[in-house]
Structure 1
Amino acid sequence: MSTFPDRRPPGRPRDHFTPRRGWLNDPNGLVHHEGEYHLFFQHSPDTIVWGPMSWGHAVSTDLVEWSELPVALPSTEAEHMWSGSVVHDVANSSGLGTGGTGPLVALFTSRDTTTGRQSQHLAHSVDDGRTWEPHASNPVLDIGSTAFRDPKVIRQDDRWLMVLVLADERTVETYRSSDLLHWEHAASFGPEGSADGVWECPDLVRVPVEGTDAYAHVLLVSVLAGAPAGGCGTQYFVGTLEGDRFRSTQRAMWMDHGADFYAAVSYSGSPGVMPVVQAWMSNWLYADRVPATDFRGSMTVARRLTLRRRGDTLTLVQHPVVRQGLLVHEVTDTELAGVVRLPVEATACRLVAEVEPGTSGRFELHVRVGPGERTVVWVDWTAGLVGIDRTTAGATAFHPQFAAVHTAPAPPTDGPLRLEVVVDLSSVEAFIGDGERVLTDQVFPGGSSTGLAVAAHEGAATLHRLAVYV
């Protein structure tokens, strides 16, 4: 049995960003600039429950290893800094740059602590996001609403577009600008898809269609209730951008069928043709109750997006951005029946399996296995479902809905089904069907629960490959 020690500070995940201290929720202002990925985030540094929101800040060159920087936009007694976005104003259309260099520009929701009014404010940076100067004429957009928030700005041809929500009305509003300072209304979208909860954190991304030169526009919208696993989640609409107006061309679908994937937004300016998104890994049902000491909240791994055609439908596919890791165990071309314990123990690892049902009815990967504890990622060939079972994943009593089995329709396949499972101290992210179905769940097992196992039930499965990386 090989045991691989943690390469992380005690009590922290290895491969997921967490703040040094305090509370973290939605990712904000994701941008790639001068070789750095900037992750801003909703942050309350002095408490581990949601409170007066500031913008925390971290940077990375590879989306895996992160360095936390000082708070970028601190809250005040009069103003809380809610979600928003950052763009590089390359051509200095705002006039806020110096020396011919375009600034980084943040557009974010400012919440007035006296009135609850939500308006859109601007700040800019000329030192690679290290310090920020609020605009003297803030707000740059104000309609007098208490539920008007989460601006995401994109560059479209010769103009800027901003998408943000009228949360209670379940609509995404589009505004346009030539200079980031003056905005006019262009279009509305919704309600469509899931409208059980208020809408938040929209994003509009251009996503390539696999195997073609085509693209489609995808609108991401987070909803506060009604997601497949209960509570909040992120839905998406595939469609077209006609001028400044987004139109959906197929029904809404869910990005993630687990319980802990919310407020997903993309990195502005990321290199390559595939957009890169990241989300908050929690759920408002129990976010303030999960086990914690000096910090609470983490991000998912970053994910690159493509679209895969299935008949008349385009499905969003997510490709995790992961560390290469060390291959410590591999099995190829074997028949699997029953439960087989693997000769590896690890708190953080990545498993890749390619499997066909053979005569079996069910295939399983068991992670974080210990006395009375395990989390199970499974494929039920008979029922046509995939899922995660966290009913015995350790601490669950802090909320009645935490111990649960989360499911999704199995993706179609003409051959072996590929599963990639990213395991960390307190999370499991399962990318099934080469990322066509994704489930993200937090788990809180004991420190001794480091075992791994693989299983086939009701017959024998054909395991073409199983690889474990640490």
Structure 2
Amino acid sequence: MKKHFSILLIAGLICALGCKQSSQNVDEALVEQKDVLVEKFRPNFHFTPKANWMNDPNGLVYYKGYYHLFYQYYPDSTVWGPMHWGHAKSKDLLHWEHRPVALYPDSLGYIFSGSAVIDKNNTAGFGKDAMVAIFTYHDPVKEKEGKINYQTQGIAYSNDEGETWTKYEHNPVIKNPGIKDFRDPKVFWNEEKSKWQLVLVAKDHVQIYESPNIKDWSKISEFRFNDNPPLGVWECPDLFKLPVEGSNEQKWVLIISHGGESAPNGGSGTRYFVGDYDGTTFTTNQKESQWIDYGTDNYAGVTFNNTPDNKRIFIGWMSNWNYATVTPTEKWRSAMTLPRELSVYKQNNQYFLKSKPIDGFDAMTQSVAKNEISGDFPHKISFENLQHSEISFDAEIKDSLQIVFSNNEGEKYILAYNKANGLFTTDRTHSGQVDFSENYLKTAFQTMNIGTKDALSIKIVLDASSAEIFLNNGEFVMTNQIFPNENYTHFEILPNTDLKIENFNLKEIENAIE
């Protein structure tokens, strides 16, 4: 959801009339294109648009063997513009098939963020198993006129598995109550109440609605949290139930994103609350914010509806509004994070969220034989395809730990842990291209307080322009964009003494876009 450009392009005001044809031309080119030209920094196994601008994941839903990813998309430029919903689908969440643009702006506004469900009981009357999208209309004309009610909620439906869409003739289905920031509906079916429910954000809090038919909605409660200082506008909510690991207990999780400078290391970020939900009201005993990712490049993430085995699978936008429009890519801009499975665990009478790569990701990896790796295994090694790899190991730590990825140009991406102060850090100051944005440089050094640990289980996933770090099976996570001018081929763990390394594994990762 674009939130931070205060002046909208005049061209966007007439998008409902003029941009559909150009978007259709892009659609045809994308669907017909068989091969993807792999540009510099184009990921091998993270989702990217074939061309132009992408941000938030939207409408995440599973249906008939396919995971559907809709996303904020501007088909006419590599910077943000009048929002559409792009569309891709996948059988495994890793190999994606690009589909035509799903939703276009119209007279009610741009198509901002939202969600999608499968109406198994035909409650809306659009047809059994209709795919129904619920999204925010953003009216640029009203915004330009200074009105505050320029965001409303609309719906559309598809009877051909998301290929074509019909907008509901009586949109909007939720009108604006007089709130400037009123958006991002996430819908789910409440089995206990046999009703549809949704969470949406209203400036600095969450509102919860319910409906028997996806068309007629009634507000039933609100959730607020006393942030001091305030974290700014709330965005992209999600509400779902998960079992607590190792128990018969179940808890509800509420996810919220924030732009601006709210995240722990600056810029955009996503936090969560673990609590209880009685079908009307969400409550939590949590005293402070917990963050789903402490890196600077995981924002606006939400989870899939209707997944097999009720797994809760999360995907985030792998960027940051502080520099998203100026990252050094050419034909496309922005990627999604690896899909991650979420779980809840309890520690010291508190509840926390874990996130780790989905199980299916292992099928894309293959361990590299030692005879293909040069150097002092495992402390200082070189490998040609390190830039598209997964490195995992367990470390017993006496005082500190440092991990260095580097290339022949002397560029370095550094991870470190200091046992004395409990801080895990990442440093991309000299990782490659960094001068495209002052805000990127300002957040080059990032910290995460994980406390005193005698041992760490570490997994690092590198792609062409990203690093995703999972500590202790996903208890702590950091996601960073990096832009090395030459692929990293060297890896080093320091110190070489007083550090016990076990279960070291270097895996090469399949190219999912070939």
- Would the TM-score normalized by the shorter structure come out above 0.5? yes
**Retained in 2: the 8 A contact 1:22–1:296?**
yes
Match of 1:112 among 139, 148, 158: 139
Q: Cα 1:330–1:119, aligned 2, differ >3 Å: closer, same or farther?
A: farther
- Counterparts in 2 of 1:352-363, with a 5 A limit? 352-357=392-397, 359=398, 361-363=399-401
Task: Please state how far the C-alpha of 1:77 moved relative to its aligned partner.
Answer: 6.5
Task: Please state how far the C-alpha of 1:337 moved relative to its aligned partner.
Answer: 11
- Counterparts in 2 of 1:50-449, with a 5 A limit? 50-76=80-106, 79-97=109-127, 101-116=128-143, 117-144=150-177, 145-157=179-191, 158-167=194-203, 170-193=204-227, 195-225=230-260, 226-251=262-287, 252-321=289-358, 322-324=361-363, 325-329=365-369, 340-357=380-397, 359=398, 361-403=399-441, 404-410=444-450, 416-446=455-485, 448-449=486-487
Post-superposition Cα deviations, 1:357-391, rounded to whole Å, max 9, x if no partner, equal: 1x4x2223323533221212222223212122111
**Retained in 1: the 8 A contact 2:155–2:173?**
yes
Q: Cα 1:303–1:163, aligned 2, differ >3 Å: closer, same or farther?
A: same
**Retained in 2: the 8 A contact 1:105–1:123?**
yes
Task: Please state how far the C-alpha of 1:434 moved relative to its aligned partner.
Answer: 1.1
Moved more, 179-188 or 315-324: 315-324
Task: Please state how far the C-alpha of 1:355 moved relative to its aligned partner.
Answer: 1.0
Which amino acid in 2 is paired with 1:122? I
Question: May I ask how many residue pairs the two structures share in their alignment?
Answer: 451
Q: Cα 1:279–1:463, aligned 2, differ >3 Å: closer, same or farther?
A: same
Post-superposition Cα deviations, 1:74-93, rounded to whole Å, max 9, x if no partner, equal: 12465200000000011111
Aligned counterparts of 1:430 and 1:36: Cα–Cα separation in 2 = 27
In the alignment, what sits opposite 1:4? none
Aligned counterparts of 1:260 and 1:343: Cα–Cα separation in 2 = 26
Q: CA RMSD in A?
A: 2.1
In the alignment, what sits opposite 1:3? none
Which amino acid in 2 is paired with 1:393? S
Aligned counterparts of 1:124 and 1:188: Cα–Cα separation in 2 = 28
Aligned counterparts of 1:362 and 1:136: Cα–Cα separation in 2 = 62
Aligned counterparts of 1:181 and 1:293: Cα–Cα separation in 2 = 41
Please give the secondary structure, in 1, of the residue aligned with 2:54: strand
Post-superposition Cα deviations, 1:79-128, rounded to whole Å, max 9, x if no partner, equal: 2000000000111111110xxx2201100001112103111001001101
Task: Please state how far the C-alpha of 1:146 moved relative to its aligned partner.
Answer: 3.3
Task: Please state how far the C-alpha of 1:411 moved relative to its aligned partner.
Answer: 5.8
Which amino acid in 2 is paired with 1:92? N
- Gaps (5+ residues) in structure 1? 1-6
Task: Please state how far the C-alpha of 1:330 moved relative to its aligned partner.
Answer: 6.0
Q: Larger helix proportion, structure 1 or 2? A: 2
Post-superposition Cα deviations, 1:184-222, rounded to whole Å, max 9, x if no partner, equal: 010011144473221110000212211123221010000
Moved more, 273-282 or 74-83: 74-83
Please give the secondary structure, in 2, of the residue aligned with 1:316: strand
Q: Larger strand proportion, structure 1 or 2? A: 1
Task: Please state how far the C-alpha of 1:458 moved relative to its aligned partner.
Answer: 8.5
**Retained in 2: the 8 A contact 1:411–1:432?**
no
Please give the secondary structure, in 2, of the residue aligned with 1:402: helix
